[in-house]
Structure 1
Amino acid sequence: QRAEINYKIALGKPFIVDSITRNITSLAIDSIYIRNEDKSLIKNSKQFDLADFNNERKRLSELFRNTGVYNFQESSIAYNILRDTMRVNDDQKMSVELNIGDLRKRGDSIITTSEYKVFRLDKINIYPDYALNEDKSDLKSVEYDNYTIYYKDKLRYKPKALADAIFLEKDSLYRDIDKIRTYRRITNLNTFKYPNILFTEDSTQSKLTADIFLATRPKFSWAFDFDITHSNIKSLGIGFSTALISRNIFRGAETLSLSVGGTFGLLSDETSTENFFSETGADVNITFPRIWFPFFNWKKIIPSYKLPQSRISVGTSFQKNIGLDKQTFNTILGYNWATDRFNKNNVELLNIQFVNNLNPDRFYNVYQSTFERLNDIAVDYADDPTLQDFYIMPEPPDGPVLIIPEGTTGFTNAILNVDVPSTPEDFEDVASIEERRIRLTENNLIFATNYTFNKNNRTNINDNDFYSFRFKVESAGGLLSGISNLIEFDKNENGDRTVFGVPFSQYIKTEFDYIKHWDLSRSNVLAFRSFFGIAIPYGNSNSVPFVRSYFGGGSNDNRAWYPYSLGPGSTDNINDFNEANMKIALNLEYRFPIVGNFKGAIFADAGNIWNVWDNVQDPAAVFQGFESLSELALGTGMGVRYDFTYFVFRLDMGFKTHNPAELPGQRWFRDYNFANAVLQIGINYPF
């Protein structure tokens, strides 16, 4: 038995605000209201909306508490809504009366009222290292910039460092925003626990004494992290890191961090002839709670309430049996600040990275796919008597194999120097392989400057309806190129300018990353991400360093492909580590609860990488314009997650839905089966 019901709703004529009057008992409140009456959200001839009244109460409360009325209570605001029911033709007009009563104080047995007044700050006292119930009479004091700092035995902080964190000023009107900024700034110093600020009225009931109590964090702290990783490159990895943190090292709330870490484990069989790998590193970081820049006062541009920080970092790492056994040195001088609660800025004025490849002769041992491409070409030239020493001749049916590295180097030089005649196709392929070998084995010097802007309107960890946006732009080599016009740099055999024998990289790189989450109720969430990045080499470089290039695939990207196995363009996994200098990624994921802490997901990932404006000539790998968008790979799949509260363990299975590496007519659903599915393991959500 079923029935259909149609509802017809007649809203009638809306109610209109006809007049606004006020009844304010405090002269101070009334004066402030009159000066700001034009900003009211409730206006004559405007349609009645309850939200306007709620927002107006919040606006007035913030207004009064930021113009000296430190103890104003929002409950003091009330509205009387009157309607003239005697009108025959039009009774939709409403008269609004604003009522703001006196301050109500609850005593032990009775409630008293008093008129609201405007207060100015008189004395501001700071108590660093304060212990609960400490006898203040035993404390010493020092005056600095209209602040009184109380301490016991010895003052451990520079007075200026404490004063810079306080936004309450002597003889100024009390403002709630100054108190909030003080809370945020002190907490951001990472030296004190959450502060306690108490206000006391004087006998005239017009001035306030502010007591700021600060409880210090421990001078030293120790952190230790441990993790286990798995990927198509690392069959098993065990990592650890430990850090020693020292606070207030220069008495200005600076933080020094010394960290050491390492990862050890086994490589996948396809990655290297040696299965064991290790990566160790150490870093030294110093954070200053201000913009540190000699001979320039940044306070006028980036005031203290924007939480400015300066960071100096020096680090090194050593990799063994990953790639070519790299040694990396990093130095960073950076600044960050928050425009407001949701907007953050980061500038790395100097980001210097030196990558030293310790075993470049092992290139073909590590990059087996590249070796197989070269060896397939070399097989056709094995009968040439001048090349005999470059091969190992195994027993049939195996063909000749180039010796690494003598044979690969000798054969490549013979072809490129035209010591041995070759076809144009073979010459071009060998030149391309050699160009890649040189790029991945040469040492890199990256002397970059970058800026990153982050906007995130998420209010808390339970907010599932938010968006975030990240924009980054980086320039490398520009400063060194400018200096080279004044000072003559050495050049290598390719004509590239070098610093200490290493050609410096020169490129422009920019990235856009947008994430949006929709809360569909009952813990169902729809999440979307879009990413675009491009790095353009110029000047001293015709390609982007490997460490600054893009790759496709992986647990946080297109999950139907393993890391580095997607692209570039329509190529089919031609290298062990496929990378390029341009990337597009689009992800859509529907998340839903299953039972208890188990969650589920259905996802679709699209994207690819391409080469553009660099030294790669392969048409299948180069972005040709809008027509290349047909090479976007699409992976779809499902996943299950377990929420451990502090982190989420994730298992996703991706299927190749549209594979651009296949022939144009065979790209859809060709490998859409469990036999070709890709299993990805991840920690936390991918975006």
Structure 2
Amino acid sequence: MDKSFRYAILATIALLLASCSSTKYVPDGSYLLDEVRIHTDNKEVKPSNLSMYIRQNPNAKWFSLIKTQLYVYNWSGQDSTRWINRILRKLGDAPVIYSEEETNRTREEITKAVQNMGYMGALVEPVRQVQKKKMKLVYKVTTSKPYKVRTLRYDIRDSKIKEYIQQDSAVTLLSEGMYFDVNVLDAERQRITNKLLQNGYYKFNKEYISYTADTVRNSYLVDLTLHLAPYRQHNEDTPQNHQQYTINKVSFITDYNVLQASPWNSIEVNDSLHYKGFPIYYKDKLYLRPKVLINNLHITPGTLYNEQNVQRTYSNYGRLQALKYTNIRFFEAQQSDSAKLNAYVMLTRGKHQSVSFEVEGTNSAGDLGAAASVAFQHRNMFKGSETLMFKLRGAYEAVSGLQSSLNQDYIELGAEATINFPRFMFPFVSSDFKRRIRATTEFGLQYNYQMRPEFTRIVASAGWSYKWGVQQQRSQHRIDLLDINYLYMPSIDQTFKEDYLEKDENYILKYNYEDRFIVRTGYSYIYNSAGRAFMNNSSIGNSYTIRLNFESAGSLLYAVAKLGGMKKNASGEYTLLNIPFAQYLKGDFDFAKNLVIDNRNSLAFHFGAGIAIPYGNATMLPFEKRYFSGGANSVRGWSVRDLGPGSFPGDNNFMNQSGDIKLDASIEYRTRLFWKFRGALFVDAGNIWTIRDYKDQPGGQFKFGKFYKQIAVAYGLGLRLDLDFFVLRFDGGMKAINPTYEKKKDRYPIIHPKFSRDFAFHFAVGYPF
């Protein structure tokens, strides 16, 4: 182990141990709340479900081990006027002093929570353990025997509502024999309310549903009755049945100012039109086509009010980037004995055009450069909320370490144009299907010109894809119906060609420096259980994410070429316009899970696997489709593209450190430090492999009896600055198992670490998974 590395570890430990007593600022007669636990005598009542009711928690621990911020606070002196003491107290946390009042409140809330689960005789006893000026507190929960529902009755005098509830009885949450759980009772109230709101009961809410529970003497049984209260607008009104409302008329107001508090009938409009029976009011000029307004509407005149359709309408208009806000208001329109609603869809126009500039610095292996881009965006190109984006980008980099005969500059120029239609566009598909699928369609063109000292390369691409999300954005789908990429190499330096492409016949390099077509289709799916709570690759509460991706390239072209009897070129490949095309299948799976330990600590797990198989017209994958390992989002003990494949040690050629198969696994302990800083302890494992045995990648082929011995392992520490809208991440990883070596001393650097050899530093934006 390097002396400097050993000294750094010892110094860190010494600083922590040298902190003054944790009770330095605990007044006499008071106690530092050192630990709080909950113990239950019933496996069905988990302490983790009751921890939210604890009113007073001890000082936070980094990684659930060290009360670092308490120690920082205790480093401060008594003189609060000194700047160093003020800073230490601001960075640290004052000691949490035990409070009898908060303990009693916690006892009451835990008792109530357990009783609500059906354990009406539950008791909670705080047990205090005092040692000098520290106190450990244990809430001992005795649940006793649970109460169960013996009989279940419904007191519903509204015959129509009673019929709806009976029709839906198969999915009820209530049953005889169930625990008398107040939370389940309340969930059933909400379920019935949602059902009625979808069937015209515009004014219904769950407060109209109540329960009476009669306990049977000398038993733990309950006779439960669900009551439905009649409708009253005011307490003194005569009770009546709840009314079912029908949508009468739907109108659009397209220039609503959400900042104005004026009533709807005083909104300034100066023109209107009718489209398929829908009045559309606007000021000066209608900026959206009437068909777009109607196609995104799910509120239909003549049908019962449906809260679900209202939310679908909000969701549809929220997808239109031409709009800033949407507000839907309903007004009663009583006609004879029927109850009707007039709906007004109030739309606030957004900013349709914008121009943005970006400037960035680049550093590629020590070669400094700069890049700049300008983008124009029009969010309502054809008055259907179509989004057109046009972007120009330029980059320059001074390349060092090349032969003097070569130009030392790298220049990149690029142009990109995409247009996004907020609807499903495909010929011969019914309008009703297009309306229901709620997909967006995107067409794109890209052109990229790269002039390096060794070669000049042009990459042109065109794409046609669909995207859509369901269930509050928990699921997202993408279909790349057609993605065409054309790689063209106008010129290659003769010296570079002779030394790298022809010398030693490096097949991987040669294949990726030839003109080539990639014509692919693909599908990707993302599911996140947290839905809209998903923020910055982290989430609120326990959650998991699944990512699937599948793509195929060249299969149709190969079939056409083979059936058409086309001739192959000198390399044995079919061509399109005299240009060989790639052919492969590729699939990826990715799973990540976040487990919350408490409000400051969590565990994150990740597993990823991928395989890409060249076949038919290709024996090699295009470089852009190959896998690499190492880096900020992989095995962090290695630099980016510095690991594998297999036991291959690398030869300073990054193309040779790529593969066809990838495995990745990580576990990360995340903790809040102070302010917006977060810390992490992580262990990563993984590698890449090739399907075939390439002579330029010895030891890189995947073999079932050997691959598990070639899995690299790394461990390390991370520091993150979470600024809510993005996260800056700094990770330092150390190699633990290095598959490049077979000797134990070199193979297991976790036993014999060498900082200069085994450490890798990473800077990235966002969490690794």
Tell me the equivalent position of 1:681: 763
The two structures, once aligned, show a CA RMSD in angstroms of 3.0
The partner residue of 2:226 within 98, 111, 116 is 98
2:518 is the alignment partner of 1:457: no
Counterparts of 1:574 and 1:113 in 2: how far apart (Å)?
A: 85
Counterparts of 2:403 and 2:514 in 1: how far apart (Å)?
A: 20
User: Residue 243 of structure 1: CA displacement?
Assistant: 1.9
In the superposition, relative to structure 1, how do residues 673 and 248 fare at CA in structure 2: closer, same or farther (>3 Å)? same
Counterparts of 1:547 and 1:30 in 2: how far apart (Å)?
A: 62
User: 1:271-286 alignment to 2 at 5 Å?
Assistant: 276-286=409-419
Tell me the equivalent position of 1:441: 513
Tell me the equivalent position of 1:556: 633
User: 1:563-582 alignment to 2 at 5 Å?
Assistant: 563-577=640-654, 578-582=657-661
Tell me, yes or no, if the aligned pair for 1:333 and 1:351 is still in contact at 8 Å: yes
- Structure 1 counterpart of 2:347, one-letter code: L
Q: Which moved more, 1:261-270 or 1:618-627?
A: 261-270
User: Residue 491 of structure 1: CA displacement?
Assistant: 3.2
Q: Which moved more, 1:603-612 or 1:591-600?
A: 591-600
Tell me the equivalent position of 1:397: none
In the superposition, relative to structure 1, how do residues 560 and 126 fare at CA in structure 2: closer, same or farther (>3 Å)? same
Counterparts of 1:113 and 1:75 in 2: how far apart (Å)?
A: 15
User: Residue 297 of structure 1: CA displacement?
Assistant: 2.7
In the superposition, relative to structure 1, how do residues 614 and 355 fare at CA in structure 2: closer, same or farther (>3 Å)? farther
Tell me, yes or no, if the aligned pair for 2:402 and 2:408 is still in contact at 8 Å: no
Counterparts of 1:33 and 1:647 in 2: how far apart (Å)?
A: 47
Cα deviation code 1:80-126 (max 9, x no counterpart): 111132xx5xx22211121222445579xx99976421111111112
SS of structure 1 residue aligned to 2:196:
helix
Number of residue pairs the alignment of both structures matches: 618
Tell me the equivalent position of 1:597: 676
In the superposition, relative to structure 1, how do residues 81 and 162 fare at CA in structure 2: closer, same or farther (>3 Å)? same
SS of structure 2 residue aligned to 1:437:
helix
Tell me, yes or no, if the aligned pair for 1:534 and 1:583 is still in contact at 8 Å: yes
2:330 is the alignment partner of 1:199: yes
Tell me, yes or no, if the aligned pair for 2:449 and 2:457 is still in contact at 8 Å: yes
In the superposition, relative to structure 1, how do residues 539 and 555 fare at CA in structure 2: closer, same or farther (>3 Å)? same
Tell me the equivalent position of 2:211: 79
SS of structure 2 residue aligned to 1:287:
strand
Tell me the equivalent position of 2:353: 220
Counterparts of 1:223 and 1:321 in 2: how far apart (Å)?
A: 28
User: Residue 156 of structure 1: CA displacement?
Assistant: 3.1
Cα deviation code 1:575-603 (max 9, x no counterpart): 42111111111122111122212221111
Tell me the equivalent position of 1:471: 548
User: 1:256-405 alignment to 2 at 5 Å?
Assistant: 256-266=388-398, 276-297=409-430, 299-300=432-433, 303-304=435-436, 306-321=437-452, 324-341=455-472, 342-361=474-493, 405=497
Tell me the equivalent position of 2:252: 126
The partner residue of 1:63 within 166, 181, 195 is 195
In the superposition, relative to structure 1, how do residues 82 and 166 fare at CA in structure 2: closer, same or farther (>3 Å)? same
- Structure 2 counterpart of 1:436, one-letter code: I
User: 1:10-21 alignment to 2 at 5 Å?
Assistant: 11-21=143-153
TM-score by length of 2: 0.75
Counterparts of 2:500 and 2:296 in 1: how far apart (Å)?
A: 63
Counterparts of 2:230 and 2:456 in 1: how far apart (Å)?
A: 74
Counterparts of 1:328 and 1:62 in 2: how far apart (Å)?
A: 53
Counterparts of 1:607 and 1:322 in 2: how far apart (Å)?
A: 35
SS of structure 2 residue aligned to 1:436:
helix
User: Residue 144 of structure 1: CA displacement?
Assistant: 3.0
Counterparts of 2:340 and 2:324 in 1: how far apart (Å)?
A: 28
SS of structure 2 residue aligned to 1:511:
strand
Consecutive unaligned residues in structure 2, runs of 5 or more: 1-129
Tell me, yes or no, if the aligned pair for 1:444 and 1:505 is still in contact at 8 Å: yes
SS of structure 2 residue aligned to 1:177:
helix
TM-score by length of 1: 0.83
Counterparts of 1:322 and 1:106 in 2: how far apart (Å)?
A: 82
In the superposition, relative to structure 1, how do residues 552 and 267 fare at CA in structure 2: closer, same or farther (>3 Å)? farther
User: Residue 46 of structure 1: CA displacement?
Assistant: 2.2
User: Residue 469 of structure 1: CA displacement?
Assistant: 0.6
User: Residue 299 of structure 1: CA displacement?
Assistant: 4.2
Cα deviation code 1:110-157 (max 9, x no counterpart): 999764211111111122233455856854433334433223444332
- Structure 2 counterpart of 1:455, one-letter code: Y
In the superposition, relative to structure 1, how do residues 4 and 241 fare at CA in structure 2: closer, same or farther (>3 Å)? closer
User: Residue 504 of structure 1: CA displacement?
Assistant: 0.2
In the superposition, relative to structure 1, how do residues 546 and 137 fare at CA in structure 2: closer, same or farther (>3 Å)? closer
- Structure 1 counterpart of 2:530, one-letter code: R
SS of structure 2 residue aligned to 1:491:
coil
- Structure 2 counterpart of 1:645, one-letter code: D
Cα deviation code 1:482-538 (max 9, x no counterpart): 222454545321121112222100000100011111112133121121111111011
Counterparts of 2:682 and 2:584 in 1: how far apart (Å)?
A: 35
Tell me, yes or no, if the aligned pair for 1:456 and 1:467 is still in contact at 8 Å: yes
- Structure 2 counterpart of 1:284, one-letter code: A
The partner residue of 2:593 within 510, 513, 516 is 516
User: Residue 608 of structure 1: CA displacement?
Assistant: 0.8
Tell me the equivalent position of 2:738: 659
Tell me, yes or no, if the aligned pair for 1:513 and 1:532 is still in contact at 8 Å: yes
In the superposition, relative to structure 1, how do residues 221 and 167 fare at CA in structure 2: closer, same or farther (>3 Å)? same
Tell me the equivalent position of 1:498: 575
The partner residue of 1:160 within 282, 288, 291 is 291
In the superposition, relative to structure 1, how do residues 104 and 235 fare at CA in structure 2: closer, same or farther (>3 Å)? farther
Cα deviation code 1:187-233 (max 9, x no counterpart): 112111221000111124511111101111122122333444545x3
- Structure 1 counterpart of 2:469, one-letter code: A
Counterparts of 1:33 and 1:470 in 2: how far apart (Å)?
A: 39
Tell me the equivalent position of 2:382: 250
- Structure 2 counterpart of 1:495, one-letter code: G
User: Residue 448 of structure 1: CA displacement?
Assistant: 0.2
In the superposition, relative to structure 1, how do residues 325 and 641 fare at CA in structure 2: closer, same or farther (>3 Å)? farther
User: Residue 176 of structure 1: CA displacement?
Assistant: 0.8
Tell me, yes or no, if the aligned pair for 2:439 and 2:468 is still in contact at 8 Å: yes
Tell me, yes or no, if the aligned pair for 1:638 and 1:652 is still in contact at 8 Å: yes
- Structure 2 counterpart of 1:682, one-letter code: A
Tell me the equivalent position of 1:374: none
User: Residue 320 of structure 1: CA displacement?
Assistant: 3.2
SS of structure 1 residue aligned to 2:382:
coil
Identity, % of aligned positions: 29
Q: Which moved more, 1:4-13 or 1:543-552?
A: 4-13
Consecutive unaligned residues in structure 1, runs of 5 or more: 363-402, 413-429
User: Residue 170 of structure 1: CA displacement?
Assistant: 1.4
SS of structure 2 residue aligned to 1:54:
helix
Tell me, yes or no, if the aligned pair for 2:443 and 2:463 is still in contact at 8 Å: yes
Tell me, yes or no, if the aligned pair for 2:645 and 2:697 is still in contact at 8 Å: no
- Structure 2 counterpart of 1:515, one-letter code: A
2:740 is the alignment partner of 1:607: no
Tell me the equivalent position of 1:646: 725
